[in-house]
Structure 1
C-alpha cells in the first residue's frame, strides 16, 4: 500500500485509522464476532466526497474494499483485510412531513430513524431489530413488521446517493440513472457505497404487540392457528412471528409468538383469539409504538458474541409434523451444546405477501417475491472452537427447512420464478443464479457499466459475465 499520508490528506473531516491508531480496534467490532477482520486501513468518512476519495485510493492501490454501515451482517460483508469505508459518522436524518419522505445517511441504524419518526406518529419500513444498519438491509430488499401494509423497504425507496467504483458521486432514482436504481434495489452492495437514502414514510399509530410464550407441546395447536391466520387473507397489515427457542435459562424449550396488530387492543385480541385461546404461559402483549416493537428482539440479538444466520421459507398451509421435525432437530442440537440455546432460535415470519407481490418480479433486482413466508435461523455462541460445527449445522438445518417446509427453486428451470431465499440473511455466499434468478442477466449488464473491474464483489457477487 502506498503512503497512507496521501489518503489522510484527502480525508479532512473524517478520519483514517491504521493498526495502532486510537480507535482502530473499536472500528473492527461487528455485531457478530465471527465477522471481524483486521483491516489494513479504515476510513471513517464524513461525506460522499470522502467516500469517493477512499474508493479511489483503494482502487489505485489494489486494496480489497468494502463498506460498513451498521456492521450487522454475520457474513463478514462489512469487514475486509484491505480497506473498510466506515459510514458510522454519516447518520443525519431529515424529515419532510409535507412530502412524507425521510432522507438519511448511509451509516444510520434503524433506531436513528425511529427516534425521529416515532414522536411524530410516523414510521418507515425497516427490519425487526433496531440496531440493524439501514444500508445492508435496504440494498438487499428489506422487510419487517410494516411490509404487509407498505411493501419492502426497496418498494418505498425513492432515490439514493451512491459513490461508484470510479469515485463518481451519482444520484439514482426512477428519473436519473434508472438502470443503477433498478440494480440497487436488491443487489445494491454490488454497485457502490450508498451515502444517502430517501424513502417514503407513513403515518403510524400505536399497535398491539409483544410476546406470547407457550410450552413446546402446543406446537400443533399453534400451527393450526397460524394456518387460520393465513386463510384470513388480511390486507390491513396484521402479522406475526413464531419462534422456536429457549426461555431465559437457556435450557427450557419454549415457543414464542409475537403478534402485530394495526389497531386497538380489544380488536387485536379478538383477531388473534385462536392463538390466545391456546393458553400462553406468559403474555407480555400491550399497546406500543412501532419504534418500541423494533426493540423487542434486542435482548436476543445483542452485539459482541459469535453469530450466524440463515434463510429458508415455508409454503402454506404448514404441516405440524413437518415443523415439529425442524423444532426437534434444532432443540436436539442445542441441548447437546450448553450455552448455545440461550441466544439461538428458528423463526417463521408470517408477514402477508400481498404488497410484495403487487410489484412485478423484474421491476427491481430483488428476486424473492414469492407466495411463501421467510424462515430465519439464528445462532449465538461464545466458544470459537464451535465455529465449524455451528456453520455445518446451520447449513444442514436450512437445507432441511427448504426440503420439508419450503418452495424449491431450481436455477436451471426457474425462469422468472422467485429464488426462495432472503439473501440478507445468508451467511455463506450464494451462487449468482441462486441469489438473483432471472434478474441476473440484466444485473450483469448494469455491472459492466458501473463496475467493470468488479471492485464491489463481496457476499453474493453478481460477477462480470465473460462474453
Structure 2
C-alpha cells in the first residue's frame, strides 16, 4: 500500500483528495465528459515545490500521473486513473507594463490573462475560447486570432518554470536550458509540468468583429469570398473564421462567419465587403475589445456534454464543390445520429500565416508552419452509446478534409524532411504517431527527452516512442 499520509503532510498549501473527500468529484470534471476518469488521488498544488513533491511521490511509488489545467483536451490527457496534479490554484498573473510582458501561473485560463491585460490596452496571443487552460494550448504550439499579427503563443514565449521528471524545478529560456526551451515549444507535455510562463504582450486597441450568419445555400459564394480574402495577402492581422454548423434554433443548417479587422467598423465593413455582398441573415458585428472577441465562440463551446475534436487543413484556393461535400457529409451525420447537439461545427480558420512562417521549422519543436490554414472539427453529443460513432466519424471527416481540401505530406514517402506536418496537434483527440506529430524535429526531440526524462515519465498524448516508465497503482 502507498502511504498517502506522507503526501498529505508534504502538500502544505495545496490539498490531496481521494474518493469520498469533499471536492474530489468536482476535481474530476472536464470540458468533455468523455475525458473524465476516476483518479486514485488528485493533488491540488499551489506552487512549483508542491508539484515537485507530487511528481517525486508518483515516480517513487510507480503511480501513473498527469497534469490538469483547464481540462479541455478531448484526448483525455488531463485525466488519469492514477494521480492528477491539478494546477487550478496556480492562477496568478502579473503584468510588466514597461517591458510589455506577463508572467502567469500554469493553472490560468485565457480569461485570467484577458482580464489582466485588457484594461491596460494590451493583449496576448491566446486561444479562441477564453475558458481554455493556458498550459495545454501553449505547450502544443498555440494559435488564435492574434497569430496573424504576432505569431504563435510559443513565438511570444520568453521563459517557463518547469518541473521535470526527477522533480527538479528548472527555468527554460533562450539563455537557460535552451535545449529544453526548444522542446517545450511544441512538445511541452512530454518534458514536465510547466508551473509558470512569461510571455510578450502587445499594445492592442479595439477591433471590429462579431458574427455573420448565412443560409446554408450561400456556401459557394462564401468560398469565393474567402478565396478573395486570401488573395489580398494582408499583413495587418485581419482574419476570418468560417464555421459549418447550426443556427440559433439548433436544427437549421447554417454558416457562421466571424471576421476580425484591426480598425474601425467602417474600415472593417469595407475590407470584408465580399462577405456582406453574399447576404447574411444576421449581423452582430461591431467594434469590441479583444477580450470580447475571445468570448464569441463560448456559446458553442460550453461545458457539460460529450466532446471530441480533430484537426485538418485547407490549401488555397478552395474549390466550392469540395467544401460543399465536407459540409453535406457533416450535416448528414449530425442530423442522423441520436444525441448530437447543435454545439457541433467544422471551423476553417483563415488566420494568415506570414508571422507564423517567419519562424523556421527547426527553431521550435512545433512543425505545423505551412502555406495552408488550419481546420478544426468539434463535435458535441449527449448519448454515451454514440461515443464510438462520433470518434469514427471524426476520423473519416478529417481524412476527407485532408484528402480533398488540404496540404498533404507523408513523412514515410516525402523526400523533403523539413516539410510541415499539416496537423494542429492541440486539437487531435487520437494519439498520433510521433512522425505525424513532430515531423522532422522528432530525432532532436528524442535526444532532449533522453536528457530530461530518460525513463519517459511524461508519455501521455502524442508520445515520443521511447521506453515507457513502470506504472504501478495505489
Query: Under TM normalisation by the shorter chain, which class is it?
Result: over 0.9
2:471 corresponds to which residue? none
1:369 corresponds to which residue? 369
Residues in 1 aligned to 2:61 and 2:303: alpha-carbon distance in whole angstroms: 33
1:437 corresponds to which residue? 439
The alignment status of 1:67 with 2:90, answered yes or no, reads no
After the TM superposition, which residues 388-399 of structure 1 pair with which residues of structure 2 at under 5 Å, given as runs? Answer: 388-399=388-399
The alignment status of 1:103 with 2:103, answered yes or no, reads yes
1:192 corresponds to which residue? 192
After the TM superposition, which residues 399-414 of structure 1 pair with which residues of structure 2 at under 5 Å, given as runs? Answer: 399-412=399-412, 413=414, 414=416
Q: Structure 1 residue runs of 4+, over 4 Å off?
A: none
1:267 corresponds to which residue? 267
1:113 corresponds to which residue? 113
2:2 corresponds to which residue? 2
Residues in 1 aligned to 2:346 and 2:402: alpha-carbon distance in whole angstroms: 13
Q: How high is the TM-score relative to the length of structure 2?
A: 0.97
How far apart are 1:2 and its partner, in Å?
1.1
2:12 corresponds to which residue? 12
Any conservation in 2 of the 1:125–1:145 contact (CA below 8 Å)?
yes
Residues in 1 aligned to 2:387 and 2:465: alpha-carbon distance in whole angstroms: 28
Residues in 1 aligned to 2:203 and 2:392: alpha-carbon distance in whole angstroms: 44
Q: CA RMSD in A?
A: 0.9
Residues in 2 aligned to 1:305 and 1:339: alpha-carbon distance in whole angstroms: 10
Residues in 1 aligned to 2:423 and 2:211: alpha-carbon distance in whole angstroms: 26
Residues in 1 aligned to 2:462 and 2:402: alpha-carbon distance in whole angstroms: 19
Can you give the 5+ residue segments of structure 1 that lack an aligned partner in the other structure?
A: none
Aligned partner of residue 158 in structure 1, secondary structure: strand
Question: Taking structure 1 as reference, are residues 29 and 341 closer, same or farther at Cα in structure 2, changes over 3 Å only?
Answer: closer
Residues in 1 aligned to 2:341 and 2:421: alpha-carbon distance in whole angstroms: 30
Query: Can you list the C-alpha shifts for 1:33-90, whole angstroms capped at 9, x where unaligned?
Result: 0000001110000000000000000000100110001111111010000110000000
2:345 corresponds to which residue? 345
How far apart are 1:252 and its partner, in Å?
0.2
Any conservation in 2 of the 1:87–1:107 contact (CA below 8 Å)?
yes
The alignment status of 1:210 with 2:210, answered yes or no, reads yes
How far apart are 1:463 and its partner, in Å?
2.7
Query: Can you list the C-alpha shifts for 1:416-439, whole angstroms capped at 9, x where unaligned?
Result: 100000000000000000100000
1:167 corresponds to which residue? 167
Can you give the 5+ residue segments of structure 2 that lack an aligned partner in the other structure?
A: 469-474
Any conservation in 1 of the 2:244–2:255 contact (CA below 8 Å)?
yes
The alignment status of 1:233 with 2:208, answered yes or no, reads no
Residues in 1 aligned to 2:364 and 2:383: alpha-carbon distance in whole angstroms: 40
Any conservation in 2 of the 1:31–1:303 contact (CA below 8 Å)?
yes
How far apart are 1:339 and its partner, in Å?
4.5
Residues in 1 aligned to 2:222 and 2:341: alpha-carbon distance in whole angstroms: 21
How far apart are 1:311 and its partner, in Å?
0.2
2:137 corresponds to which residue? 137
The alignment status of 1:335 with 2:342, answered yes or no, reads no
Aligned residue pairs, count: 466
1:311 corresponds to which residue? 311
Any conservation in 2 of the 1:335–1:341 contact (CA below 8 Å)?
no
1:58 corresponds to which residue? 58
How far apart are 1:338 and its partner, in Å?
5.0
2:423 corresponds to which residue? 421
Residues in 2 aligned to 1:441 and 1:176: alpha-carbon distance in whole angstroms: 22
Any conservation in 2 of the 1:313–1:375 contact (CA below 8 Å)?
yes
Residues in 1 aligned to 2:221 and 2:339: alpha-carbon distance in whole angstroms: 29
Residues in 2 aligned to 1:453 and 1:35: alpha-carbon distance in whole angstroms: 26
Q: How high is the TM-score relative to the length of structure 1?
A: 0.99
Any conservation in 1 of the 2:27–2:42 contact (CA below 8 Å)?
yes
